[in-house]
Each structure stands twice: as C-alpha cells, then as structure tokens.
A = this chain, B = another copy of it.
Amino acid sequence: MLSSIGESPLYRIANPRSIAFFGASNNISSMGTNLLMSVRSMGFEGTVYPVHPKEKQVQGLKAYRSVRDLADVPDLAVVVLPAPIVNRTLEECGQKGIKHAIVVSGGFKEVGGDGVDLENELVEIARRYGIRVLGPNGLGVANPHQKLNTTFIPHEGPAGFIGLASQSGSFITQMFNYLSGFGLGFSTAFSVGNEADIDLVDCMEYLGVCPHTKVIALYIEGIKRGKEFVKTAKSITPQRPIVALYVGGSETGKRAGFSHTGALAGPDELYNGVFRQAGIIRALSITELFDYCWALGSLPRPKGRRVVIQTHSGGPGAAAADSCGRAGLELPSLSEETVEKLAPFVPHTGSVNNPVDLTFSKHPDDFFFNIPKLLIDEKNADMLLIYFLSAWQVIKRGLEQMGLSEEEVINQYANLIDSQCESIVRLAKKTAKPCVGYTFGSLDDPAIRGLLERGVLVFPGAERAARALGALVRYTTLREKWKEVEV
C-alpha cells in the first residue's frame, strides 16, 4: 500500500500542473478537439499547450508545431492522434523529458493484427524514456477536485467521493449526469484502456490512499495481474470498501469484453473467488455498482442485518419487506417500548408491526419527525428504511381549495418540504444507524431532491435500497471478521 498518492505513477496524470495536448484542432467534430474542450470547460487551472502541425491557435490557445518548441517540460502529454503517428509522438515527448502520458487513440491491441505490434512498440518507447502511460484506447482521467476532465463529455455536477477505475471510458464520461442526479460524483476516475503500462491495480493503489475517495468502484472486463490485484485490494478493503462490476463471467459478456479491450475473461466462479479473497463486494450491473458505492461510501456501518421499515402505504411496505428478505436482511418485531411510544401517532387502521404502516397519518408531519425518531431508537433494529411518497399533487390541490394563490401554494409547499427534509437529515446525522429511503417518484421531484441534496440516500425502488443495504451488511460483516483475525 502506498503512503500517499504522491508515490503513485498516476499522481501527475491526475494532478498535472501542465499538459501538452496532441490531436486537438479547430475542427469541432474531431475527438481530440472535444477532449480539449472538456479540459477547458471545467476550468483546469494549469497550463495547456496544444501541439498542432499547422494551426497557430487552437481553440484560442497558442499552438506549437512540435513538443520540442515548448519552453518548459509539461507534467503530462495527452495524445489523441491517429494510431500510426502515436508512437513517434510519444518518442518526441520522451526526448523532451515528459514522464507521463494519456494515450486516448484507439487502433492498438484491441483491433488485433498490426495493432498488437503498435502497442508493443508503444510500451518499448515508454520504457526507454521512463514514461508512465495510461491507455491507449482509454479516455484518461476525471478529477473534479483538480478541475481536470480529459474525457469526451463536459463534467457537470459536484465532485464526490467515488473513486473509479474502469476498463471502459464510457463509464466515466457517460456517468457524470447519472451520478449527479443522486447528488453523487467522482473523487477521481480513471479510464485504463488497454492497460499497456498502468493498469487497474495501479489505479486501485492510487484510490486506496486518495484523500477524496471514500469508496472504490471497479469496472472489469478481465484482470491482468491476478496476484497483485488480490494483494492490493486486500490491503485496501479493511479501511475502504471496493465494489466491482465484472462483466466477463457470462459467455456473452466474455466475448463482448474481448472485442472491446482484448481482455481475457475468466468464469464467474473464478472471479467470485478472487473478489471474496480480496474482500471486494460484487455488483451485477452499473446501477448496482453505483448504488452500492453510494451506500458504502456514505452510510455508517450497521451493527447487524435487522431493518425496520416505515411507510404510510401497505403495498410499498410489503414490497420492501419482500425485497429486504431477498437481499438477506431481517425484519425484527418492534420492542414493547417502541410499540407503546408509537401508539399516539398511529391510527387504528395502521400497523405497528414491521413494516410500520401509518396508512392515513393522524398528522402528516409525524411521518418526518416523531415516528422516524422513535424507530431509529428501536433497540431491535440496526437500520431504518423509509418510504417517501411525493404528495405534491395532493398538497397542491388542498392548498388551492383553501383559496391560496399559485405563489402562496408554491411557497408553502417549499417551506413544508424544507422542514420535512431538515428533520430527516437531523435524524440521519444524529444516529449511528444507516437510515435510507426509497421512492417510486422522480428524483427530480422537489421533495426527493431536497433529501438527495442534503445527503440522504433515496433509492428508486425498494429492491435497490434493500440490495444496497445488503451490500453494506456484507461489507461490514467482512470487516468484523478481519478485525477478529487481527486480534
């Protein structure tokens, strides 16, 4: 394990002070141009030197005929050129003294034939000049904390705590919006491409000590250095959870991965063994990968697998109960103390079993204040799962009937949501128990958005919440076992 990111070959790739950029121009449809636009639109504060054989300016920046013409030696070269001229360019970078490169260009090992030779030559040049290379056939890095994004799509949304190492560039660049929809973002994300030099293991090492990273996500089509992978992951997982999506385990996924990155995938059982040894939690889809990261990166560790569900609708409660059971969680009965305390808040049509079902609440506010407060303190439960319904249309209808103007309706609703969300946040922050929500409503609904923006996890659908809590329990159980071994 590294002692800091400064020791990683990725340090100056993810935190460069200056970049020589090859392949960007003023032609807006070229790949290189788009990547340079991404770098610039995020507001990267270092120096960027576009290198172009003809242009004097590229996107308003002074352009250079050759890397030789630069006055200083940039920390990083980003190469987005046609494959046949990549190696020559890399050699010039080496001669200049550049020690780090991202090679975005495709047309290497992944296309077979001559591509394999080209990639071997690339590695040979990198070794000769001591250049550490990320790629080829990758999209580089997104490090929002450094305002750096070398990928295809502009980075919008917040920086976050998920560190990603991915054998697909798309799962960085095409996830920016997806994640920000949940109030999530990357700490740093690496697209490893063909892993000619730097590989997944190097990225894990970096993310294992990255101060912004709370959880590591891996997208894997095939692991190259198996032993090192396990060793590195094992050194990280006791402190920082790792979640992996491995798509090479099915016959269909294996073949797809092979034609994508040339990865040689192994069967599911093999990878399950690897993940188990390494303490890695496995996800089965991209959705699960980031759901699990969300839970593992932001929730306290539960003491056990017992969940109490709060709902005001029987069906969503029962469906959540079923999902919890299928995810390996338990639904304890409430203690007598809690049942007694709940009594004043639950109408006779409701239920103080688990799920606690308020039906038509006596006072709507109780759902956000008194009841979750009691349930969080329930001694028989380790986690709280709350069903959130956006009642916007009903509340709006009611306020309109009271004769309020449109503006007053909107203001009253906004105030209501604020106080409800604040209450849930206060409860969630005060307790050492995981407290999450689920909904069938849109994440853009103000009531749900209010919770997400305040850092409360609200999953679309009970089954996603239950499976994420299940992953949290699995990781926590593993960690307890490791502690015992240490003692």
Given A106-B349, A111-B348, A219-B315: A285 in contact with B462 (beta carbons within 8 A)? yes
Given A257-B318, A260-B351, A314-B168: A393 in contact with B287 (beta carbons within 8 A)? no
A371 in the interface (beta carbon within 8 A) = no
Given A394-B34, A444-B444: A325 in contact with B463 (beta carbons within 8 A)? no
**Which of these, B260, B322, B326, B444, contacts A314 with CB under 8 Å?**
B260
Q: Do A251 and B444 have beta carbons less than 8 Å apart?
A: no
Measured between alpha carbons, how far is A425 from B329 in the docked complex, in Å? 43
Interface size on A, residues (CB 8 A): 91
Chain B residue numbers with a CB within 8 Å of A156 are 393
Q: A355's closest neighbor in chain B, by CB?
A: B256
Given A37-B401, A330-B252: A286 in contact with B319 (beta carbons within 8 A)? yes
Chain B residue numbers with a CB within 8 Å of A316 are 168, 170-171, 174, 286
Measured between alpha carbons, how far is A360 from B106 in the docked complex, in Å? 10
Q: Do B351 and A259 have beta carbons less than 8 Å apart?
A: yes
Measured between alpha carbons, how far is A461 from B284 in the docked complex, in Å? 12
Instruction: Encode contact with B along A304-346: 1 for CB under 8 Å, 0 otherwise.
Output: 0000010001111111111111100111000000000000000
**Which of these, B255, B321, B398, B402, contacts A255 with CB under 8 Å?**
B321
Q: Do A247 and B321 have beta carbons less than 8 Å apart?
A: yes
Chain B residue numbers with a CB within 8 Å of A248 are 318, 322
A432 in the interface (beta carbon within 8 A) = no
A187 in the interface (beta carbon within 8 A) = no
Measured between alpha carbons, how far is A178 from B348 in the docked complex, in Å? 30
Measured between alpha carbons, how far is A316 from B248 in the docked complex, in Å? 13
A123 in the interface (beta carbon within 8 A) = no
Measured between alpha carbons, how far is A153 from B313 in the docked complex, in Å? 13
A266 in the interface (beta carbon within 8 A) = no
Q: A402's closest neighbor in chain B, by CB?
A: B28
Measured between alpha carbons, how far is A317 from B391 in the docked complex, in Å? 38
Measured between alpha carbons, how far is A317 from B171 in the docked complex, in Å? 11
Measured between alpha carbons, how far is A329 from B253 in the docked complex, in Å? 11
Listed in ascending order, the chain A residues whose CB lies under 8 Å from chain B are 28-29, 31, 34, 37, 41, 59, 106-107, 110-111, 137, 152-154, 156, 166-171, 174-175, 177-178, 181, 219, 221, 245, 247-253, 255-257, 259-261, 284-287, 309, 313-326, 329-331, 348-349, 351, 353-355, 357, 359-360, 389-391, 393-394, 397-398, 401-402, 440-442, 444, 460-463
27 contacts between A and B (CB under 8 A): A34-B397, A34-B398, A59-B401, A107-B349, A154-B394, A170-B313, A170-B389, A174-B440, A174-B441, A247-B322, A248-B318, A250-B321, A252-B322, A253-B318, A255-B353, A256-B309, A256-B314, A256-B320, A256-B321, A256-B353, A259-B351, A260-B315, A261-B314, A285-B323, A285-B463, A286-B316, A444-B444
